[in-house]
Amino acid sequence: MNLVPSLSPEEEELKRKQAELEALESELIQKELELRTFEGELHSFEREYAQIIGSRYTELEQIQAQINEYMAYLESSRNFKPSDSLKKLYREVAKRIHPDLVTDEEEKARRQDLMIMANEAYEQGNEDKLREILANWEISPESVKGEGIAIELIKIIRKIAQCRSRIGAIVSEIEALTQTDLYELKSQVDRAKENGKDLLAEMALHLDEEIAKAQESLKELKEKLGV
């Protein structure tokens, strides 16, 4: 007669949490897929809109924004004088997450990404960002050391919390995207397409007419002035 060994209460709880985590991870993957698909559709429409309506204006704005950002960065670099509290906070973050503190290559790579974020926050004098990095690390499963069922249970509980948090963030991101002008314009274009109309083509035609009128007015003005 084969006897099935009974599980301890801790093992039973670990088994339940593992099943809960599995279900949440599947839900998270689906939500990530929905978000990336939604973002992909919006980005595709944005590229189409920019190409038809205003690619040159968009490109100029992007270049100018990059110039402004670069100049602001240079200015902040010249005036960089870290406070004692900023230095203390940075040292605390580095002590916890520095990649040289581990040998596992996957964990080392994850820590390197976190250190890049910490270095950027330090250079920008952003104490709030450093605190956020530290706080997220403190509640992460990777910060729990040791072995055994109790430790595994703590890690899984933290992973469950991370999944729930990310799922909530994705729902908020999708909701925020539906409130943007880009989404509203895409919805109008899609509705028009269902009725057999090409709204972007109509907008482009209207813009061409406005440009032609402006060019004609400029031509007449130049003729009057003899330019």
At 101-128, the pLDDT tens digits run 667 777 778 888 888 888 888 877 888 8
* Mean per-residue pLDDT of the chain: 79
pLDDT recorded at residue 156? 83
Over residues 123-148, the pLDDT tens digits come to 778 888 888 888 887 777 666 666 77
pTM of the model: 0.51
Higher pLDDT, 151 or 171: 171
pLDDT at 58 > cutoff 70 = no
Contacts of residue 115, Cβ cutoff 8 Å, sequence gap at least 6: 94, 97, 98, 99
Average pLDDT of span 89-100: 82
CA dihedral 135, 136, 141, 146 (to 10 degrees): -30
pLDDT recorded at residue 187? 92
Confidence of residue 179 (pLDDT cuts 50, 70, 90): very high
